[in-house]
Amino acid sequence: MRNLVLIAALVFGGPALAAPPKVPAGPPVIEVVEVAEQYNLIHVEALSETATGHAWFIDGPRGFEDIVKLSPDSKRIVFTGPPGRYKLMLVVQTKGGMLDQAHRIMFIEGIGPEPDPEPDPDPDPPMPGVRWLIIIEETDQRTNAHAAIYHSEKLNAYLKAKGHPPRRLWDQDELDPNGKTPKSLKPYLNLADRDSLPVCFVADAGGRILHQGPLPVDADAVLDLLKEHGG
């Protein structure tokens, strides 16, 4: 499932820039990178020599809607979010009072350790250290209880305080810019029980999988799981 968010309503008669960028005459253009890594800030700019107001829309995976910033003149937005495909839509009002629009597709790719393909059947107790929390879900089947875990302030604050990366959340059908399963998702997806989503992995910095199984019932149970495995 995807999420559509309106970032800003049209701002008519907004302040003029002292030195607007030189762009070709014609329809507005959205300037943005084609691919970015997860959790990097994505800077987006509207280029148009005739626009007097801007409205932004983002169509993308759930999870990015609360982390969007808008410049005072509404020409620029900054956002980040989970891995996936993002469609950026811009509607502008021109100096003649007409409306025009532009569209761009960009992707956010995941990062993380490759899982160990041959885990030790009798591993030593894990030493404390960096832990990756990786969750694979079917977004269409997300419940309120699942969402409460994904957006838990207590869980996210704990990961940050302990120096762990932010939790990784993937949809099982996620695709990269080439229409293929992202490289960093595929090995975990191959290990996951796709009939029992969402599933949860805890891995160390080297990709050693310390736990895999169904997502715990709540954020406190996820915290207990991390602590149990050295996180």
pTM: 0.55
At 96 the pLDDT is: 74
For each of the chain's 231 residues, which pLDDT tens digit applies? 555 555 554 443 333 333 444 444 568 889 988 877 766 778 899 888 888 888 888 887 765 655 567 888 888 888 877 777 788 998 888 877 788 889 998 877 665 555 554 555 566 666 788 888 999 999 889 899 998 998 898 998 898 888 888 888 888 988 877 788 887 788 888 888 888 899 999 988 777 888 999 999 999 999 999 999 987
In single-letter form, the type of residue at position 224 comes to D
At 199 the pLDDT is: 95
Residue in this structure with the two tokens 């049209």, named with its chain if needed: 10
At 23 the pLDDT is: 45
Determine the topology of domain 2-109 in CATH. Answer: Immunoglobulin-like (2.60.40)
Locate the domains of the chain by residue range: 2-109, 131-228
Q: Which two tokens stand for residue 216?
A: 């715990």
| Kind and range of the H or E run holding 32 | none
Are 80 and 40 in contact by the 8 Å Cβ rule? The answer is: yes
* Architecture of the domain spanning 131-228: 3-Layer(aba) Sandwich (3.40)
| Kind and range of the H or E run holding 224 | helix 219-228
| Angstrom distances, CA of residue 103 to CA of 20, 86, 91, 133, 196 | 21, 10, 9, 34, 37
